[in-house]
Amino acid sequence: MSITYLEAIREAQAHALRDDPRVFIYGQDVGAFGGAFKATKNLQKEFPGRVLDAPISEDAMVGLAVGSAIEGMRPIIEMQFADFSTVGFNQIVNQAATLFWRTQVSCPITVRLPFGGTSGSGPFHSQCIEAIYAHYPGIVVLTPATVEDAYSMLLSAVAINDPVIFCEHKFLYYHLKAEKLPSEALPIGKARIAREGRDLTIVTYSAMVHEALAAATELATEGWEIEVVDLRSVKPLDTDTIVASVARTGRLLCVGEAWPWGGVTAEVIARVTAEGYGLLDAPPQRLNAKDTPVPYHPNLWAAHRPTSRSVAAAARNLLRT
Through-space distance between the first and last CA atoms of the chain, rounded to whole angstroms: 46
**d(C-alpha 224, C-alpha 13), whole Å:** 41
Can the peptide bond before residue 236 be classed as cis, meaning omega within 30 degrees of 0?
Answer: yes
Residue 41's nearest CA partner among 25, 20, 22 is 25
Q: Does 131 bind another protein (CB under 8 A)?
A: no
CB 247 within 8 A of CB 144: no
Among 2, 48, 71, 320, binds another protein (CB under 8 A): 71
210 is catalytic: no
Q: In this complex, which beta carbon is closest to another protein, that of residue 107 or of residue 294?
A: 107
Position 110 contacts another protein (CB under 8 A): no
**Comparison of 107 and 208: residue with beta carbon closer to another protein:** 107
Among the listed ranges 101-109, 118-126, 210-218, 223-231, the one in contact with another protein (CB under 8 A) is 101-109
162 binds another protein (CB under 8 A): yes
Binding mask 218-237 for another protein (x = CB under 8 A): ------------------xx
For residue 69, which phi and psi values (nearest 5 degrees)?
Answer: -65, -35
In the stretch 8-27, what mask flags binding to another protein with x, by CB under 8 A? ----------------x---
Give the whole-angstrom CA distance, residue 156 versus residue 12: 10
CA distances from 88 to 66, 83, 120, 161, 247 (A): 12, 10, 25, 20, 41
Report the interface residues with another protein, using CB under 8 A. 24, 49-50, 54-55, 57-73, 75, 87, 90-91, 94-95, 97-103, 105-107, 137-138, 140, 160-162, 187-189, 236-237, 239
Which residues does the annotation mark as catalytic?
125
